[in-house]
Amino acid sequence: MNTYLLVNILGVLVFLGIAFLFSKDRKHINWRSIAIVLVINILLALFLTNFSWGRDIVKGAAEGFQWLINVSYTGIAFAFPDWVHVKQMNFFTAALLPILMVVPMFDILTYFGILPFFIKWIGRGMAFVTGQPMFESFYAVEMMFLGNTEAMAVSSVQLKHLSPLRVLTIAMMSMSCITAAMVGVYAQMVPGEYVLTAIPLNILNAIVITNILNPVRVSKEEDVIYQIGDESSEAIAEEVVTEKPAKPEKEPFFSFLGDSILGAGKLILIIVANVIAFVALAALISKLLGLINPWLSLEHILGIIMFPFAWLMGLDVNQAFQFAQYMGTKLVTNEFVVMGEITSKINNPHMFTEHFRAELTIFLTSFANISTVGMIIGCLKGIVDKEKNDLISKNIGYLFLSGILVSLMSAGIVGIFVW
């Protein structure tokens, strides 16, 4: 048997072992659920890498969400045509401004009880298969194409009712997604078939990794889907009544819609402020390290740290060192920096083997980097209370670790089938 294949398989087991090593509560890890999701993950990787019609299904779903994002650009172009009608939109326009349409649209669906209905039944189906709570199961599907900030924003009603530990799980999962708006851009820079393969695999691996790192037991009473107007479970518990408390009346629709739009605008400002600060601080650290030695930077340091993990994906030493450098750059900056660097050569078989090409594309296809931590913190600050925000802030390392391990798992599993 191929020695590199054996190393690749060992690598996947090592990545799971690292998650177990850093688990917050090893005694309560739901191994049955994790085993089921892993089997689905492996079968899906086999299906998507060996059957073209499997990738067509994912592509069709991605195009549907892309259509939704494109509609939002119509509103943006009305106010800022020179921001939209360009060769490539900036991050603020492409990833954040669509929130102004996406959030109110999903809030409207929540207002009329449509979204909670889908969350309940899709979540129930996913929960039956995976053994996970309903909302976490649905959120995994929801963020597959909506992205982290959009998915959290449209799930604000649910997030406000979740326990702090469950919100931490959501934050950790959110490190491993992309937005629909980015799918087409990625596919033009790196092999599109692997971009589409990475999307569902990242979601399944996010379930696996977060439930090892942060296992949370959810009772049947807690595993519910809330609607606008529902009181918090804490408030209900405090009332001493013999019958179920009556729900408060919903506010008028247009008043609700106005609040939703204003909330979306506030959310964008919070997110962009945190992203700018996190990226700038990372750059400052690299500059200060450069004063000690011009070679030193966060990218290079992370590249050295990631070398053993790159080797565990079935790569020879030279390939692993190059792969690790790409990893370090992606984690400190973002995936676009690396994609721009490799676009002209990734399809050259003399420079990249198919195994290297597949694993690198899969690893790059996620928002797992320092700036995403800022986005998640900023988004949650606009949604949940101080207790939950404080818990997220104390677990930044877990967010980052979760994003890295999910990307490694997805790349490693695909690598088993592509040589």
* Nearest CA-CA partner of 124 in 137, 142, 115: 137
Flag whether the pTM goes above 0.85. Answer: no
Rounded CA-CA distance 117/113 in Å is 6
Rounded CA-CA distance 1/21 in Å is 30
**Intervals of the chain under pLDDT 50:** 231-248
* Nearest CA-CA partner of 177 in 156, 207, 199, 192: 199
pLDDT in the model for residue 363:
93
Two structure tokens written together for 16: 């799971």
Q: Provide DSSP, 24-88.
A: S-GGG--HHHHHHHHHHHHHHHHHHHH-HHHHHHHHHHHHHHHHHHHHHHHHHHHH-HHHHSSSS
Query: Taking the domains of the chain in order of start, what are their residue ranges?
Result: 3-237+256-417
* Residues 64-83 pLDDT 10s: 767 877 888 898 999 999 88
pLDDT in the model for residue 250:
66
What are the φ and ψ backbone dihedral angles of 250, each rounded to 5 degrees?
-70, 150
* Cβ proximity of 101 and 72 under 8 Å: yes
